[in-house]
Structure 1
Amino acid sequence: MNIPQTEHELIERAQNLAGLTLGDIAQQAGIEVPKNLTRNKGWIGLLLEHVLGASAGSRPEPDFPNLGIELKSLPINEQAKPLETTFVSVAPLTGLVGINWHNSYVRKKLAKVLWVPVISPKDQPITQRVVGTPFLWSPSAEEEALLAQDWQELTDMIVLGNVENIQGKHGQVMQLRPKAANSQAKTQAYDRHGKPFMTLPRGFYLKINFTHMLLHKYLRIN
């Protein structure tokens, strides 16, 4: 799919997917649907990236670099409640001197997001899951303040050598948790005495309560 040249063109493409099943979309794109998502966890996002014309790939920039827009698929149940937290980015565990919220990768990633809800009941085959109404979001001043506060709290804990003590309860709207393909994948961090040690990579994730609030705000869903 060619790259969308304007925000309007991208949104129009996304709106044209609303109401279609993932099976319909994959068939039109000539892409095989996996039997399950256990080993293909990011497949839905990759399918949407392909049909919408995302071009960033694995590069550290928004999915649509020319528009500064990140794409996020959001699995929801029939009651329109998000089913899982939303991955934002890998968290750096070293080299944090000079990084603040305003120049952070998380802020850049969340500056403008195209959310595409996908109605994904757990017992429903992947092919029958339906794309919902997409919406474009940029953080309000209040939302950004919450994100910045959580980012600062979690980053301070990393810097102070407390990465191993960070739990899901930390952060009001964003959390830090392990992000690795398997338990053998390790990265360097520092303990409270400044000594390096190896630990699982971590990622920033938006909590369900936050994405649920966005759905309610933009789509008038309770």
Structure 2
Amino acid sequence: MPKPSPKTIHELMLRANAMAGVSLADIAAEHHIPVPKDLRRDKGWVGQLIELELGALAGSKPEPDFIHLGVELKTIPIDKLGKPLETTYVTVAPLTDIHGLTWEQSVVFHKLQCVLWVPIEGERHIPVGQRRIGTPLLWSPSVKEMALLKQDWEEIMEKIALGNVDNITARHGEVLQLRPKAANSHTLTESIGPDGNIQLSNPRGFYLKIPFTQKILSNAFLPNTAS
């Protein structure tokens, strides 16, 4: 059963800091949730567990997890050196009805205004239940970081609007990338085609690139070595 949602950011951070050093198995036992053997078929399990523990409300809705606090929750798997092991999913990308949509109106903008990062041991040789939760970080993008995010979002959305969604690769974007977001390649959704008509494409999602999230963590925990 999920815990009640925290009423203040201070209360949220008290809960998040209380998890530091605790194993996923301990958190799961508290909620009477079985621990999967691995995460190949349970990719969202860790995030859902932390949402339960912290009392997140939004779930998969296109709004911050703690909407009343304006805080988005992101768990991030890291290696023993603190480097993120994968890109970070932000939200589904709109592929139709995007005329006039601005960066400030976008879900990406609203979700990344304030993020509670929860690092978690993610190396595969560590059994899922034994993986420990790290020190949380409450982060808001700097002016420079926000400008980079905006630039990437606008360039990607322009390609989508021009009907080039199927030509966008994960290499596009300096800090933000667009990738297929579906259980399999047979899942299709409407998008704008090269001729301006509606076509079918795989759903896409916005993801933060690893070097970007690594710098966020380095700036917070290793300020003297971050570049």
Tell me the TM-score normalized by structure 1: 0.97
Which residue number in structure 2 is paired with residue 96 of structure 1?
Answer: 98
Matched, 1:217 2:219: yes
Q: Distance in 2 between matches of 1:59 and 1:149?
A: 25
Identity rate, percent: 53
Q: Distance in 2 between matches of 1:80 and 1:153?
A: 30
Matched, 1:137 2:139: yes
Which residue number in structure 1 is paired with residue 114 of structure 2?
Answer: 112
The answer on whether the counterparts of 2:62 and 2:91 sit within 8 Å (CA) in structure 1 is no
RMSD: 1.0
Q: Runs of 4 or more off by more than 4 Å in structure 1?
A: none
The DSSP-based 3-state class of the residue aligned with 1:171 is coil
What residue identity is the alignment partner of 2:166? E
What residue identity is the alignment partner of 1:23? A
The DSSP-based 3-state class of the residue aligned with 2:82 is coil
> Residues 36-67 of structure 1, C-alpha deviation per residue, up to 9 Å, x if partnerless?
11111010000000000111123221111110
Which residue number in structure 1 is paired with residue 153 of structure 2?
Answer: 151
The DSSP-based 3-state class of the residue aligned with 1:35 is coil
The DSSP-based 3-state class of the residue aligned with 2:124 is coil
Matched, 1:40 2:29: no
The DSSP-based 3-state class of the residue aligned with 1:217 is helix
Which of the numbers 160, 163, 171 marks the counterpart of 2:165? 163
Q: Distance in 2 between matches of 1:30 and 1:52?
A: 15
Cα shift at 1:8: 0.3
What residue identity is the alignment partner of 2:38? N
Gaps of 5+ in 1: none
Q: Distance in 2 between matches of 1:60 and 1:82?
A: 24
Q: Distance in 1 between matches of 2:122 and 2:204?
A: 26
Residues 1-222 of structure 1 aligned to structure 2 (within 5 Å): 1-220=3-222
Cα shift at 1:190: 1.6
Tell me the TM-score normalized by structure 2: 0.95
Q: Distance in 1 between matches of 2:25 and 2:49?
A: 11
Q: Distance in 2 between matches of 1:177 and 1:67?
A: 29
What residue identity is the alignment partner of 1:220? L
Q: Distance in 2 between matches of 1:142 and 1:18?
A: 30
Q: Distance in 1 between matches of 2:143 and 2:197?
A: 38
The DSSP-based 3-state class of the residue aligned with 1:131 is coil
Cα shift at 1:98: 1.5
Which stretch shows the higher mean deviation, 189-198 or 173-182?
Answer: 189-198
Number of positions where the alignment pairs a residue of Structure 1 with one of Structure 2: 222
